[in-house]
Amino acid sequence: MAVHPQANSIAPECSRRDKLLDRIRKKLDDISDAQNEVASCRRNLLVQRETVRTTSRKVRLSRMELGNAEAIFMSRFREFAVINNIELPVPLRDAYEKVEQTRTFLGEMEANYLQMERDLTGAEWVFTDQETSFYQFDVRMLIPDDWDDEEDQPATQDITSSTLILPNVQTRLELDTHRPHGSAGTYSELLPEEIGFDIKATRRDLNFVLAELGTWQKKFQALRQKQSKRIDRDEA
């Protein structure tokens, strides 16, 4: 008994399917490597920013020490004037009060700024942890390990009506229902019981992979934009 020649077209389609899966896996491997690289760069950036903030805090402490020394000087100057019954000129007295008011206002601003900086630092590290958790998602898991095993399972779709559609490939598999002279039985009896693969399931799994990847990309973009706006608002 001979199998219709068009049935042999299933082998090239299976080969194209394998090549498609290989390309998808390679692309997912590249995305996974890029995730790890971006996560590492992001953490290094936060470490550098923390180093800059440490230096900034040291400068601020020195400025606070200068302000305290200035306050001590002004207080002793006023005490000296009172003890010696010296009447300070109006311009000098006004200047002293201005310095005192500015110093008090600056102290309150610095206290608020320090608290905001601590909150921002904490928010950045929380965001980094969330980002790291996202990067740790293995995009290669989008393709099940047992996907290749589906080729060994019986086809769930009648190949006489299957339309195989792959990127840049469209092939319709049709069987000649003409019964040759001298042949016995029907063509359904001549064809193997297990032939081909479930094209609908293949396309469905591929669409799932692409949709899942797109969803994660959108979530990451939204999270990054939200954090960037918050950082810009706090810095402003």
What's the rounded mean pLDDT across residues 124-135?
A: 74
Whether the full predicted model's pTM is greater than 0.85, yes or no, is: no
Strand locations in 45-181 (E): 163-166, 169-172
Q: Are 151 and 10 in contact (CB under 8 A)?
A: no
As a whole number of angstroms, the distance between CA 56 and CA 167 comes to 56
Domain hosting residue 168, numbered range: 5-178+185-235
Amino acid identity of residue 3, one-letter, is V
What's the structural domain count of the chain? 1
Q: What is the pLDDT of residue 191?
A: 39
Strand locations in 119-218 (E): 163-166, 169-172
What is the radius of gyration, based on Cα positions, of the chain?
37
Q: What is the pLDDT of residue 194?
A: 42
Q: What is the pLDDT of residue 174?
A: 39
- 72 versus 32: which is more confidently predicted? 72
> What three-state secondary structure class fits 165?
strand
